[in-house]
Structure 1
Amino acid sequence: MDLQLPAEFLALFAGGTGYLLDQLHTWGPVLTPVGSFQLQPARIEEDLPLIHRWMNDPAVAPFWELAGPRNRTEDHLRAQLDGDGRSVPCLGVLDGTPMSYWEIYRADLDPLARHYPARPHDTGIHVLVGAATDRGRGLGSGLLRAVADLVLDRRPACARVVAEPDLRNTPSVAAFLSAGFRFADEVDLPGKRAALMIRDRVLRDVL
């Protein structure tokens, strides 16, 4: 069962979609050690074929569970794009080339909040590095650090960035650790046992 935001709450913020994640579409590019990187909110018509192909990669499918016909991926994207703005699907664009898929979401407003001691404005990250050639060479951890810092810079009310990779996905867990996240707990979520990873604002210059 999803967490529902009261209509009167959303009515306080005309254009509540932008409010919940501090106008993510305006965040712009950041310079990283591997190039200029930007989160670009996904567009169904332009981006669905690429995201669908990535979701059908055998290395990705067991963890995202979106392999299969194109409409399965489309429904997943539309549920976010047509929702209240608590989750924004994005392409990660590196030096002008789309190379990863991201979901930036309000963890405190997500069902995940039932499974850990959530705090107001906790912001979550899901990530998929698209090309096999981009995996396993430190690129993912570098971009995870950059995106987590981008969230903290653009969302001043957010004190923590969280993630919940599948414990079986050891390369993903390792990437989060290398990106300055700390392992906080193991949590049982629908369909998986996850590693709760947290990047704290107060520790961002330490880890």
Structure 2
Amino acid sequence: MSPVVFTRDVPGLGEFALRPVQVGADAALLHRWVTAPRARFWQMQDCSPAQVAAAYAEIDADPTHDALLGLVDGSPQFLVERYDPAHDPVGAVYPVRPGDVGMHVLVGPADVPRPGFTTEVMRTVMAFLFDDPSTTRVVVEPDVGNTAVHALNARVGFVVHDVVDLGTKQALLSSCTRDQFTATIVPDGSPS
């Protein structure tokens, strides 16, 4: 089992943790998540289990991109991809700055909806990314039609810059600095 690289306790929701994706062990789970109708913006709907495993093996082999599985009290609940925008198509549509980190997040299907859960997933991901002192800004490029994630991004401090053409999608280029993220948290650690 890969070691946990980040943990965060969320009162009322449990211990949120991140560990590197293990392609062999996690491939079936990732396939279920990325091919589900609710994950249509991941553009993997028609991928076979082997294609999903190959995609995550490629990420695993890329020194500028990594994938992490998000656990809540030890149970897989979300997926995070972290990447260097300078080595990604998004880097061709905006001026990448030193300290920029790209991110994708996918929350797995919930057996029982939990109020505030998705926001805490995003807060955990952002806290993890900013835990690296070299990260100064997080950049995201969700599909323009993904209104749910636009609202989630705004909740944790993202500012929209522009609609950009990434070839496979029209994306809402947005970014969030450490200060913008921190401003969304009140002193007791809860959302503002």
Shorter chain as denominator, the TM-score bin is 0.7 to 0.9
Asked if structure 2 preserves the Cα contact closer than 8 Å seen for 1:77 and 1:89, the reply is: yes
Shift in Å, 1:103? 0.5
How far off is 1:173 after superposition?
1.1
Q: Report SS of the residue matched to 2:44.
A: coil
Which segments of 5 or more consecutive residues in structure 2 lack a partner in the other structure?
185-192
Note if 1:197 corresponds to 2:174: yes
Instruction: Confirm or deny that 1:71 pairs with 2:50.
Output: yes
Superposed counterparts of 1:21-170, under 5 Å: 27-33=5-11, 34-60=13-39, 62-67=40-45, 68-83=47-62, 85-133=63-111, 137-153=115-131, 155-170=132-147
Q: Deviations along 1:102-134, whole A, 9 cap, x unmatched?
A: 101112332211111210131111111110557
TM-score normalised over the length of structure 2: 0.85
Q: Aligned match of 1:179 in 133, 150, 156?
A: 156
The structure-2 alpha-carbon separation of the partners of 1:59 and 1:89, relative to structure 1 and needing over 3 Å to count, comes to same
What's the secondary structure of 1:183's corresponding residue?
Answer: strand
Q: Matches of 1:38 and 1:47 in 2, distance apart?
A: 16
The 8 Å contact of residues 129 and 135 in structure 1, kept in 2 or not, is answered as no
- Deviation at residue 135 of structure 1 after TM alignment: 6.8
Give the aligned residue type for 1:35. Answer: G
The number of residue pairs the alignment matches comes to 180
Tell me if structure 2 keeps the 8 A contact 1:107–1:121.
no
Percent identity of paired positions between Structure 1 and Structure 2 = 32
- Give TM-score, length-normalised by structure 1: 0.79
Query: What is the CA–CA distance in structure 2 between the aligned matches of 1:130 and 1:103, rounded to whole Å?
Result: 14
Root mean square deviation of aligned Cα:
2.0
Q: Say if 1:108 and 1:123, in contact at 8 Å, map to a contact too.
A: no
1:72-114 deviation digits (Å, cap 9, x = unpaired) = 101110111122x211111111111101111011123322111
Unpaired segments of 5 or more residues in structure 1? 1-24
